[in-house]
């Protein structure tokens, strides 16, 4: 899947997530055999949030990272989930109304390339499965670094470009052939689940993302691979 312009990709991603919003959570649980919950919980643990701290979950979608933060850390003073696809956040809001602590989550319509928050606002800034989708990784990182407090952490959970080895090829087979079938069946949108593996193929390798984070000014950048090396959790400090 190729895009002629950045604007074309920006609009495609926005409309695609609006179309699959109602089935997004279910498809995640099935595709990852429930492991995605564990990754988000690991991310929140590694955010190293201070007591009464604040977290921004960029591209929150249906709010999974933000909900996990409120579950794990009920002391947090502020948790904001921001996204530019309103139907994704509407699904999350329906879930929040059914869970007590989750009602504290603040939702914000926001473009990740132009975040509507002042400099140095949050103790940690997190994103889950966003960075493949943005039209400029450098600009997205610059914005995340800008709104993070000095000493705060930036966390990125993402599917990097699969390795060119046998396990990487096996994952590509699953990702390109099984996932679109499943996704088409469950969400009625096979295109969205063809875009998913294509966007991973076009994304950075884990070491390249680490380098991009360092270039954005982050320190102590490290990453760990999850789910048979198919998912990466990167952490850096401002
Ligand atoms: C794969 S979903 C991830 C949702 C959630 N973070 C999770 O872990 O399940 C990607 C999300 O990124 C959002 N997104 C993509 N590009 C964006 C942008 N430029 N600004 C804001 N949100 C964006 C989409 O709307 C979508 O909700």
**Residue 136: CATH number of its domain:** 3.40.50.150
* 167 domain residue, yes or no: no
pLDDT score of 103 more than 90? no
For residues 116 and 119, what is the distance between their CA atoms, to the nearest angstrom?
10
* 38 domain residue, yes or no: yes
User: Which residues sit with their C-beta closer than 6 Å to ligand 1?
Assistant: 13, 17, 59-61, 64-65, 83-85, 88, 111-113, 128-130, 133-134
Using pLDDT thresholds of 50, 70 and 90, give the confidence band for residue 96: confident
CA of 57 to the centre of ligand 1 (A): 10
* 196 domain residue, yes or no: no
Has this prediction a pTM greater than 0.85? Answer: yes
CA distances from 207 to 36, 118, 127, 165, 211 (A): 22, 30, 18, 16, 6
Q: What is the pLDDT of residues 153-169, one digit of tens each?
A: 999 999 999 998 988 88
pLDDT for the residue 158? 98
For residues 151 and 158, what is the distance between their CA atoms, to the nearest angstrom?
23
Q: How many CA atoms lie within 13 A of 187 on its CB side?
A: 27
Mutate to test the pocket of ligand 1, among 43, 130, 144, 193 (most ligand atoms within 8 A of CB): 130
Using pLDDT thresholds of 50, 70 and 90, give the confidence band for residue 95: confident
* 1 domain residue, yes or no: no
Percent of the chain with pLDDT over 70: 100
Sheet bearing 148-158, strands edge to edge: 106-109, 78-83, 54-58, 122-128, 148-158, 231-237, 219-226
* 183 domain residue, yes or no: no
pLDDT for the residue 97? 82
Specify the 3-state DSSP secondary structure of 199.
helix
Q: What is the pLDDT of residues 33-78, one digit of tens each?
A: 889 999 999 999 999 999 999 999 999 999 999 999 999 999 999 9
Using pLDDT thresholds of 50, 70 and 90, give the confidence band for residue 218: very high
pLDDT for the residue 34? 87
The H-or-E segment that residue 235 falls in is: strand 231-237
CA of 118 to the centre of ligand 1 (A): 21
pLDDT score of 102 more than 80? no
Q: Which of 76, 83, 85, 84 is nearest to 55 (CA)?
A: 76
CA of 59 to the centre of ligand 1 (A): 4
DSSP state of 105: -
For residues 52 and 193, what is the distance between their CA atoms, to the nearest angstrom?
38
CA of 125 to the centre of ligand 1 (A): 14
Q: How many domains does the chain have?
A: 1
Averaged pLDDT score across all residues of the chain: 94
- Structural domain for 19, as ranges: 6-160+204-237
For residues 184 and 188, what is the distance between their CA atoms, to the nearest angstrom?
5
């Amino acid at each position: 899947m190729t895009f002629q312009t950045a604007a074309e990709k920006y609009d495609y991603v926005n409309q695609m997530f609006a179309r699959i919003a109602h089935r997004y959570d279910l498809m995640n649980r099935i595709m990852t055999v429930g492991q995605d919950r564990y990754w988000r919980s690991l991310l929140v643990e590694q955010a190293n949030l201070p007591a009464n701290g604040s977290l921004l979950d960029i591209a929150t979608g249906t709010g999974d990272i933000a909900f996990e933060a409120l579950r794990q850390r009920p002391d947090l003073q502020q948790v904001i989930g921001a996204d530019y696809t309103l139907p994704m956040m509407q699904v999350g809001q329906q879930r929040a109304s059914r869970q007590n602590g989750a009602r504290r989550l603040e939702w914000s319509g926001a473009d990740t390339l132009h975040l509507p928050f002042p400099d140095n606002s949050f103790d940690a800034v997190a994103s889950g499965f966003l960075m493949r989708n943005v039209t400029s990784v450098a600009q997205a990182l610059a914005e995340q670094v800008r709104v993070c407090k000095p000493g705060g952490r930036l966390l990125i959970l993402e599917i990097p470009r699969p390795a060119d080895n046998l396990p990487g090829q096996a994952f590509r087979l699953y990702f390109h052939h099984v996932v679109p079938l499943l996704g088409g069946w469950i969400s009625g949108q096979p295109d969205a689940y063809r875009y998913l593996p294509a966007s991973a193929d076009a994304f950075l390798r884990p070491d390249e993302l680490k380098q991009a984070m360092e270039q954005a000014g982050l320190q102590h950048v490290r990453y760990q691979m999850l789910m048979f090396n198919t998912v990466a959790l990167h952490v850096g400090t401002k």
